[in-house]
Amino acid sequence: MIFEEGFGLPLGWARVHTHPHGEIWENAKRGLVVQASLSKKSDGKRWLQLVISRPYKLPGFKDMAYVKRHFLGDDRRAIEDYPDRAHSVAGRVRGRTLFSCLDKGWLPEL
């Protein structure tokens, strides 16, 4: 498990599925689904990936900020990935993705 049940998420979030590479969380009231996975990437660092989606539209900036704050915290940095056509579904993006490195030294201080 990546996150323990009740690890600090606001009321309304529930883990709806767990699989070998991660888990899926849902907030029915907000209409948000978060797929969380943790893996070591080619740079040798551990990355947490959050794919944020809604049933009929892409999440907006406020949705992304809400998920970042509650899943990663205010003190952790994250970057958003904009996939190319090869990494989208039928040429369409179905969700927005945040990556956060769990190891130090992944981005320069700005």
How do the domains of the chain map onto residue ranges? 13-101
Q: Are 2 and 23 in contact (CB under 8 A)?
A: yes
Q: Which two structure tokens, joined as six digits, stand for 63? A: 């949705």
Helix (H) or strand (E) holding 95: none
* pLDDT band for position 89 (cuts 50, 70, 90): low
Q: Residues near 4 by Cβ (< 8 Å), separated by ≥ 6?
A: none
What integer is the mean pLDDT of 1-26?
A: 77
- End-to-end, the C-alpha distance of the chain in Å comes to 33
Residue pLDDT, tens place only, 38-81? 888 888 888 999 999 998 888 999 999 999 998 988 888 899 98
Q: Which two structure tokens, joined as six digits, stand for 36? A: 């969380």
pTM of the model: 0.83
